[in-house]
Amino acid sequence: MTQVKLKALSKSYYRGLEEKPVLREIDFCLEPGQFLAVLGPSGCGKTTLLNILAGLEDYQGQLELSPKPRVGYVFQEPRLLPWLTLERNLAFALPRPDLDRVRDWLQRVGLEGFGRYYPHQVSVGMQQRAGVARALLIEPGLLLLDEPFSSLDELTAQQMRTELQDWLTQSAATVILVTHNPLEAAYLADRVLLLSRSPARVLAELEVPFPRPRSLEAPELWQFARGLVRRLEEGQ
C-alpha cells in the first residue's frame, strides 16, 4: 500500500512562449489503502493528474509516493496488444512469465477459457476486464483508473463497478479513480475530490459517508451524487 501526498502540484503545457496552465496548486493526502475518486468536467486535467502520478508527466510542486509503488494503470480503452492473446497480454506485464498467475486472474475477472483468444475476438467489455486483470496481477501499491468503464454500455459498466469492489478486496492497493460519473464516485470511493474547469483547482474534498457494501439503488447514494453535481456547478 502507498501513501500519496500532493502539495501545490501544478502543470502547464507550452507552445513556444505561450503557457497553458492545466492544473493549479492541487493539494491532497491519501492514506495507504484508501480509494479516492476525482470528479470534474471534461478537459480539466484529470487524466494529466493520473499521468503525473504514474511518472509519465513532469510537474511543478511536491509529490510524494511512500513507499515508491508498483503502479497499475487501467486506461479508458483496454490498450491490449492486438498481436498477443489475452494470456500473453497479461504475461507481458510481469517481469517473468507466470501463466498460472495469469490464468488465475483471468478466472477472477470472468475470462476463464478465453486466455488464447485475441483482443479482436472478444467484446469490448471482456477486453476491459483483461485490462483490469493486467493492472491487478502485478500487485500494485498504487492503482490508477482512468474512466475505465466509460466505453461500455451502462448494464456492463454497472456489473463491472460491482465486480471491481470484489476484485479490490484481493488487493492492498491505494486507488485513484478519474470519472465523470458522480454516482460511480459515490458508489466506489472513500473520498471524492472535486475539480474545477481548466486550469483545475480543488473545489472540495468530501468523505463518502456510507458503509460498504453499497447498493447502486440506494436513495441516499443518489442524493449524495446529486449533491456532488451541485457542488461542481456552484464552483465553476
Tens-place pLDDT, residues 85-135: 999 999 999 988 899 999 999 998 889 999 999 999 999 889 999 999 999
106 domain-assigned: no
Residue 88 belongs to some domain of the structure: no
pTM above 0.85, yes or no: yes
User: What is the rounded CA–CA span in Å between residue 90 and residue 113?
Assistant: 14
pLDDT for 15 beyond 90: no
Q: Is residue 94 situated within a structural domain? A: no
Asked if residue 125 belongs to a domain, the reply is no
Q: Is the pLDDT of residue 170 over 80?
A: no
Q: What is the CATH number of the domain that holds 31?
A: 3.40.50.300
User: Could you tell me which residues come within 8 angstroms of residue 177 by beta carbon, excluding any fewer than 6 positions away?
Assistant: 35, 36, 37, 38, 145, 148, 184, 185, 188, 189
Range of the domain at 24: 3-70+139-235
- Total number of domains in the chain: 1
Is residue 92, in this structure, part of any structural domain at all? no
